[in-house]
């Protein structure tokens, strides 16, 4: 009988230890919920509904489940769904940043093409190439030190 009591006490101690390993405390859950809420709000402010609507919706849904689980004191479930919400929100943020960067790149490409079209007439009419170096400029000796402008060198100026 003594062995039986010792054995059950030992088993009870093991079960208590094991049950404690898997539990999530309230403080960790609150921290994870806070991280999830901030991540979702950040994604919303960034405009994720335009660039990553599915990821944002998953984040919002997971956060709602986490809040509900927390209210029902299901702390492990709340912790896990808050973690999922945080990850979905971060994915939404990253996709939003990528979408915004791609939009900016396209805008800059359009500006560059416009500048190329606008300057094309000048280049053709002046016989100047944007890819070749410009002719060397020369300054008359009496103009050194003054606010004179450079005069382009001609073939006549460079021959002895």
- How many domains does one find in the chain? 1
Distance of CA 9 to the CA centre of its chain: 55
Domain residues for 37?
A: 23-98
Tell me what pLDDT residue 130 has: 53
Q: Average pLDDT for consecutive 10-residue bins of the chain (160 residues)?
A: 52 43 80 97 97 97 98 96 98 97 95 89 58 50 50 51
Tell me what pLDDT residue 25 has: 86
- Whether 125 is covered by a domain: the verdict is no
Tell me what pLDDT residue 20 has: 47
- Whether 147 is covered by a domain: the verdict is no
- Whether 37 is covered by a domain: the verdict is yes
C-alpha span between 57 and 67 (Å, rounded) = 15
- Whether 110 is covered by a domain: the verdict is no
Tell me what pLDDT residue 156 has: 52
C-alpha span between 111 and 117 (Å, rounded) = 10
C-alpha span between 127 and 48 (Å, rounded) = 49
- Whether 40 is covered by a domain: the verdict is yes
- Whether 93 is covered by a domain: the verdict is yes
C-beta atoms surrounding 137 within 10 Å = 10
């Amino acid at each position: 009988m003594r062995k039986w009591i010792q054995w059950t006490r030992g088993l009870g101690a093991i079960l208590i230890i094991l049950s404690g390993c898997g539990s999530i405390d309230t403080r960790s859950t609150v921290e994870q919920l806070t991280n999830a809420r901030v991540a979702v709000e950040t994604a919303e402010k960034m405009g994720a509904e335009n660039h990553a609507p599915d990821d944002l919706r998953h984040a919002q849904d997971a956060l709602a489940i986490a809040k509900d689980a927390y209210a029902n004191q299901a702390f492990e479930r709340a912790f896990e769904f808050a973690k999922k919400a945080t990850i979905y929100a971060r994915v939404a943020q990253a996709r939003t940043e990528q979408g915004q960067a791609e939009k900016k790149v396209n805008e800059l490409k359009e500006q560059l093409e416009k500048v190329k079209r606008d300057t094309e007439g000048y280049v053709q009419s002046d016989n100047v190439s944007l890819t070749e170096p410009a002719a060397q400029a020369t300054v008359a000796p009496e103009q050194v030190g003054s606010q004179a402008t450079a005069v382009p060198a001609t073939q006549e100026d460079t021959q002895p």
